[in-house]
């Protein structure tokens, strides 16, 4: 049985964790058989760095994010959102088409203006 990602992606839990329960019924004997399969979607590993290592209040810095396309297909129509309370307003960047195992580097200047509120 093949299931297209359009059928299940909107049902994914946080972090792409899935728990699937399958059931089969034998019509002639009325027996029920069940099985379970749990898996986590493969996602890109993000490497996030800041310069300086510890940004200070009211000083400029730079945030860099790097990841590699882990899939065996090209990625298209993606976007990346960066936000940080007191540092940067939500910033959305549309991603260009990129190939299997290609690195993507995103860089954003930051200025810490206020203390973060949790």
Name the 3-class secondary structure at 14. Answer: helix
Show me where the domains of the chain are located: 5-40, 47-111
Instruction: Please determine, for residue 116, whether its predicted confidence score (pLDDT) is greater than 70.
Output: no
By CB neighbour count within 10 A (0-12 exposed, 13-18 middle, 19+ buried), where does 65 fall?
Answer: middle
Q: What is the mean pLDDT of the chain?
A: 80
Share of the chain above pLDDT 70, in %: 91
CA 109, CA 50: separation in Å to the nearest integer? Answer: 10
| pLDDT at position 115 | 63
Strand partners, 6: none
Q: Is the peptide bond before 52 cis (omega within 30 degrees of 0)?
A: yes
DSSP code, position 100? T
| pLDDT at position 31 | 95
CATH number, domain 47-111: 2.60.40.10
CA 83, CA 91: separation in Å to the nearest integer? Answer: 6
């Amino acid at each position: 049985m093949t299931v297209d990602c359009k059928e299940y992606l909107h049902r994914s839990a946080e972090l792409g964790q899935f728990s699937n329960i399958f059931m089969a019924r034998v019509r002639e004997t009325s027996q029920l058989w069940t099985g379970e399969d749990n898996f986590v979607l493969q996602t890109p590993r993000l490497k996030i760095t800041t310069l300086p290592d510890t940004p200070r209040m009211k000083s400029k810095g730079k945030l860099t994010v790097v990841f590699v396309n882990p899939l065996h297909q090209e990625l298209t129509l993606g976007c990346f959102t960066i936000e940080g309370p007191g540092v940067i307003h939500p910033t959305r960047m549309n991603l260009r088409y990129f190939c299997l195992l290609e690195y993507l580097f995103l860089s954003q200047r930051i200025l810490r203006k206020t203390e973060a509120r949790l």
